[in-house]
Copies of this chain bind each other. A is one copy, B any other.
């Protein structure tokens, strides 16, 4: 399925280059760009977090991300999309996911970025294990609104 509007999709281990992602959706026809960044924060569910290990089922994560991007572009003509998700050990403040969407007009660009992050959280096989200040670790399980402690 050819889709030139999906400019870039990748699951990466290196830090995400946000400027490169914005450049990937830049076009003379674009009047608005929406960039969403997910970052590791220092507290989750009231516990102090020092970092997160992200793990992916790499080939399926990339194909699901690409499918989400294609479906979003198919529903809104003129969208350009670039997405990266990072895996590995991230520290507080690190960018875990970046979604760049451009369009001639602002509403489709803003709606597109929102749709992609919501879909990503529903169906892309990526997991995160939080590291806590006390040395404990737990896999985050959104289906139970919390975490499953390990070890």
Q: Which residues of A contact B (CB under 8 A)?
A: 18-19, 22, 26, 28-43, 92-93, 102, 104, 106, 109-110, 113-114, 117
Contact = CB atoms under 8 A, between A and B. Distances in A.
A106 B36 CA distance: 9
Given A34-B35, A37-B33, A114-B110, A42 B28 contact: yes
Given A110-B114, A113-B110, A114-B110, A37 B18 contact: no
14 contacts: A18-B19, A22-B37, A26-B39, A28-B41, A30-B41, A32-B36, A33-B35, A33-B36, A33-B37, A38-B106, A39-B102, A41-B104, A110-B110, A110-B113
A43 B27 CA distance: 12
A33 B39 contact: yes
Contacts of A117: 106
Given A28-B42, A36-B110, A110-B114, 7 more contacts: A19-B19, A28-B92, A31-B40, A33-B36, A34-B113, A35-B35, A110-B113
Residue of A26, A36, A40 most packed against chain B (CB within 10 A) = A36
Nearest to A99: B34
Nearest to A97: B32
A81 to B, nearest CB: 15
Nearest to A49: B28
